[in-house]
Amino acid sequence: MMVIAIPIRDKEPVSLGLHPLMTKVLFPVALLSLLFAAGCGGGSGGPTPPPSGNFSKSSLNGQYAYRLTGLVYTSPTTASSYAEAGTFTADGNGNITAGVDDLLVAGSAISTTNTTGNYSVNNDGTGSIQLNNAGLGTVTLAITLVSSNKLYLIEQDAANTFGVAELQSSSTLGTTPSGNFTFRIHDQGIASRAGAFTVNAGAIAGSEDVLAGGLLDNGTGNPLSITGSLATPSGGRGSGSFSDGVSTVQFIYYVVDANNIRILRTDSGIVSLGRAETQSGTFTSNAAFSGSYAFGSRADDSNANGGINGQNTVGVIVADGNGNITGGSYDAVIDGNPVSAVSINSGTYTVFTDGSVVATFTTSTGATITQIFWLVSSSRAFFLTNDSTKYEDGIADLQQSSSFTTASLSGQYAFVMDGYIVNSANIDRIGWINGDGSGNMSWFEGVNNTGSYAVPGTLTGTYAASGANGRITATINGLSQANNDLVFYMVSTSKAYILQDVSGYEIIGAMDLQ
């Protein structure tokens, strides 16, 4: 991180101052994504709880919207980034009865095909989905269910991808979204976007902050106005576009429910996924941003693997409700170099009436950082970092406790992780983490290492709360060769952001209590 300028705004502040599917892309290719996995084996570390769960095939029932991202390989050493999204319908008995898949590979136009398939679910929530696609081939995904409404995904065959699927509300599949939304879109290696818009009878109007070409908001320092439209969706899938006066964003969107939209950008040559969530609350004072917010973010920089995912960060930032940043900490791996338990010292912030928050603070490393948050509500925000050397954006959630201990991580959590071993491999992980609340952990994962999928078995380890701010560190035997392999920042006892805190690794993820 580096010294960066504070944006100046002219508006008034509030009061207070790929998978086998790629066998079709002109010649045989395989998909890939991002993440880490390492050796087999277990180890000691005290008793660990057995896997648990009451999942079955019936746990997947209904229409789901999914999204994946990764890399597509045109040779063993040449890859292009891609993004993919779509829908599938599970019948509760192991069959995928209908689906549509939208795929965009860098440099190519959008490809849309239909799918059918089958799936399996184990009692611990793990399993697999096979999507059969006449145009793209057969895709096999490893899955872990959080619940019947949400499951994590990675590629299980000769490719790497990672993502998530969410149950779509049947009552909104044909309804155009309406109301106020906060959004975030990451254009891989090109731009970070966050903002808010209103949809009224399909018309979009709002504003966004965008960091592109090393400039915030095209050099103006003020959010750019956006206008556009959404077409009425069919089967939970629709199209839309908006312009900020500098560029136009065209996309396909997938309706999860009345409050949640998922986005796949369709502009040729730009690989991009995003999301929009209903914005709630009024932002009339700095009190709208108050408390301790756990966050996770990813950044593309010029030193990254192909310019993608060079920096991963998890942490907590503390706002006092009166315009002051009063503390926090973060852990990051920057181009393979870890920085651990960095303190956020002090700073200031201003909440604006559109829900944007400009915060500037210093850290124990001597850096000055400016971040722009767009509030979904007072308890959740999307953000980007104003830094001309990278494209960083993420999500921040208000912590649901003022005190986290080792006992706060207790039970079985579904997780997904994704990233790189620098200059070596692309890796995805999926599975479950089980903590006993007393410092003993078991870890079950499926791992895709550069297109080779394996299940190392159940690993064991230990964990402990480390300082304040909901920070928990863990060592999993057989996962890597370093201590404190993992850092968790807890949002609550049921959710956390995860970082692989080891030199040479660029791996980040999230977990949710099953």
Model confidence band, residue 42 (pLDDT cutoffs 50, 70, 90)? very low
Q: Which of 282, 291, 293 is nearest to 377 (CA)?
A: 282
Model confidence band, residue 478 (pLDDT cutoffs 50, 70, 90)? confident
412 plus 361 within the same structural domain: no
Examine residue 369 and state whether it is found in any structural domain, yes or no. yes
Q: Do residues 277 and 376 lie in contact, with contact meaning Cβ atoms separated by under 8 Å?
A: yes
386 plus 475 within the same structural domain: no
Q: How many CB atoms lie within 10 A of CB 245?
A: 10
Q: What average pLDDT does range 292-306 have in this prediction? A: 87
In the predicted model, is pLDDT for residue 488 greater than 70? Answer: yes
In the predicted model, is pLDDT for residue 240 greater than 50? Answer: yes
Examine residue 213 and state whether it is found in any structural domain, yes or no. no
290 plus 386 within the same structural domain: yes
Examine residue 410 and state whether it is found in any structural domain, yes or no. yes
413 plus 467 within the same structural domain: yes
Q: How confident is the model at residue 232, as a pLDDT?
A: 98
Model confidence band, residue 11 (pLDDT cutoffs 50, 70, 90)? very low
394 plus 410 within the same structural domain: no
Q: Which of 398, 420, 454 delimits the end of a domain?
A: 398
Q: How confident is the model at residue 22, as a pLDDT?
A: 38
Q: How confident is the model at residue 72, as a pLDDT?
A: 66
- Counted domains in the chain: 2
Most confidently predicted of 301-315, 379-393, 454-468, 475-489: 379-393
Q: How confident is the model at residue 145, as a pLDDT?
A: 98
Q: How confident is the model at residue 479, as a pLDDT?
A: 83
Q: Position 26: which residue type?
A: L
pLDDT tens-digit profile of 78-135?
667 889 999 999 999 999 999 999 998 887 889 999 999 999 999 999 999 999 986 6
pLDDT > 70 fraction of the chain, expressed in percent and rounded: 87
Examine residue 252 and state whether it is found in any structural domain, yes or no. no
For residue 139, how many C-alpha atoms fall within 13 Å in the half-sphere facing its CB? 35
Q: Position 136: which residue type?
A: L
- CATH assignment of the domain containing 461: 2.40.128
pTM comes to 0.91
Compute CA 436 distance to the chain's CA centroid, rounded to the nearest angstrom: 27
175 vs 164: CA distance, rounded Å: 23
Q: Which of 370, 495, 389, 392 is nearest to 184 (CA)?
A: 392
Q: Do residues 33 and 161 lie in contact, with contact meaning Cβ atoms separated by under 8 Å?
A: yes
Q: Do residues 362 and 346 lie in contact, with contact meaning Cβ atoms separated by under 8 Å?
A: yes
Q: How confident is the model at residue 54, as a pLDDT?
A: 94
Examine residue 423 and state whether it is found in any structural domain, yes or no. yes
Q: How confident is the model at residue 76, as a pLDDT?
A: 59
Across 86-100, 236-250, 307-321, 469-483, least confident range: 469-483
- Residue with the larger pLDDT of the pair 510 and 111: 510
Q: How many CB atoms lie within 10 A of CB 365?
A: 12
Q: Is 241 buried (19+), middle (13-18) or exposed (0-12) by CB count in 10 A?
A: middle
- The average confidence (pLDDT) of the chain is 88
Q: How confident is the model at residue 36, as a pLDDT?
A: 25
159 vs 79: CA distance, rounded Å: 11
In the predicted model, is pLDDT for residue 10 greater than 60? Answer: no
Q: What average pLDDT does range 446-464 have in this prediction? A: 90
- CATH assignment of the domain containing 329: 2.40.128.120
Q: What average pLDDT does range 461-467 have in this prediction? A: 92
The percent of the chain in helix, strand and coil, each rounded to the nearest 5, is 5, 60, 35
346 plus 318 within the same structural domain: yes
Q: How many CB atoms lie within 10 A of CB 77?
A: 6
Two tokens at 249? Answer: 């964003």
pLDDT tens-digit profile of 261-290?
999 999 988 999 999 999 999 999 999 999
Domain that holds residue 313: 286-398
Model confidence band, residue 77 (pLDDT cutoffs 50, 70, 90)? low
Phi/psi for 411 (5° steps) reads: 115, -170
294 vs 275: CA distance, rounded Å: 19
pLDDT tens-digit profile of 53-71?
899 999 999 999 999 998 7
Q: How many CB atoms lie within 10 A of CB 454?
A: 12
Q: Do residues 434 and 441 lie in contact, with contact meaning Cβ atoms separated by under 8 Å?
A: yes
pLDDT tens-digit profile of 79-89?
678 899 999 99
385 plus 482 within the same structural domain: no
Q: In the block, which residue shows the tokens 């660029």?
A: 506
Q: How many CB atoms lie within 10 A of CB 319?
A: 28
The sign one gets for the Cα dihedral 495, 251, 112, 190 is negative
For residue 77, how many C-alpha atoms fall within 13 Å in the half-sphere facing its CB? 1
Model confidence band, residue 46 (pLDDT cutoffs 50, 70, 90)? low
211 vs 195: CA distance, rounded Å: 12
Q: What average pLDDT does range 292-317 have in this prediction? A: 88
Q: Which of 353, 373, 398 delimits the end of a domain?
A: 398
290 plus 393 within the same structural domain: yes
Q: Do residues 245 and 236 lie in contact, with contact meaning Cβ atoms separated by under 8 Å?
A: no
In the predicted model, is pLDDT for residue 6 greater than 50? Answer: no
Q: How confident is the model at residue 314, as a pLDDT?
A: 98
Q: What average pLDDT does range 371-377 have in this prediction? A: 98
Examine residue 421 and state whether it is found in any structural domain, yes or no. yes
439 plus 469 within the same structural domain: yes
297 plus 382 within the same structural domain: yes
396 vs 376: CA distance, rounded Å: 10
Q: How many CB atoms lie within 10 A of CB 42?
A: 17
Q: Which of 444, 482, 436, 480 is nearest to 462 (CA)?
A: 436
Q: How confident is the model at residue 457, as a pLDDT?
A: 85
Examine residue 120 and state whether it is found in any structural domain, yes or no. no
The sign one gets for the Cα dihedral 37, 40, 41, 47 is positive
Q: How confident is the model at residue 366, as a pLDDT?
A: 95
327 plus 345 within the same structural domain: yes
Q: How confident is the model at residue 56, as a pLDDT?
A: 98
Two tokens at 203? Answer: 């018309």
Q: Which of 398, 432, 449 delimits the end of a domain?
A: 398
Q: What average pLDDT does range 298-321 have in this prediction? A: 87
Examine residue 303 and state whether it is found in any structural domain, yes or no. yes
509 plus 435 within the same structural domain: yes
End-to-end CA, the chain: 35
Q: How confident is the model at residue 484, as a pLDDT?
A: 65
Model confidence band, residue 253 (pLDDT cutoffs 50, 70, 90)? very high
Residue 46: DSSP 8-state: S
